[in-house]
Amino acid sequence: AQSVTQPDIHITVSEGASLELRCNYSYGATPYLFWYVQSPGQGLQLLLKYFSGDTLVQGIKGFEAEFKRSQSSFNLRKPSVHWSDAAEYFCAVSISNFGNEKLTFGTGTRLTIIP
């Protein structure tokens, strides 16, 4: 079965510093990959997604992610974080299972920003 691993439960970075959140997936073929963000008390908002083509994808709020097939990874990056980026980040994969389009999520990474 497919799985998603986010090895970092909690990350703290200084405002203005760069950020990289790790995501690894397990699946036999190329999955569809997503990053969602969840602010406190809010629903999930899509940051970016990868289906095919260019392995570097740009998202909202200045985020980008790179798909690396050889490493089964889809890490999220931002060159300079803002205090408003403090939230929980979820990597997810979508595969087709008899037509099912469900998302399988990682356990999330909580991002804290310090001044």
Nearest-angstrom CA–CA distance, 114 and 96: 40
User: Is 46 or 114 the residue whose CB approaches another protein more closely?
Assistant: 46
Residues 6-65 binding another protein (CB under 8 A) are: 32, 34, 36, 42-46, 49, 51
Nearest to 73 by CA among 5, 1, 2: 5
At its nearest, how many Å lie between another protein and the CB of residue 106?
8
Strand-strand pairing, 10-14 and 109-114: parallel
At its nearest, how many Å lie between another protein and the CB of residue 86?
18
Question: Per the structure block, which two tokens stand in for 103?
Answer: 């998302």
Residues near another protein, by CB under 8 A: 32, 34, 36, 42-46, 49, 51, 90, 92, 94-96, 98-108
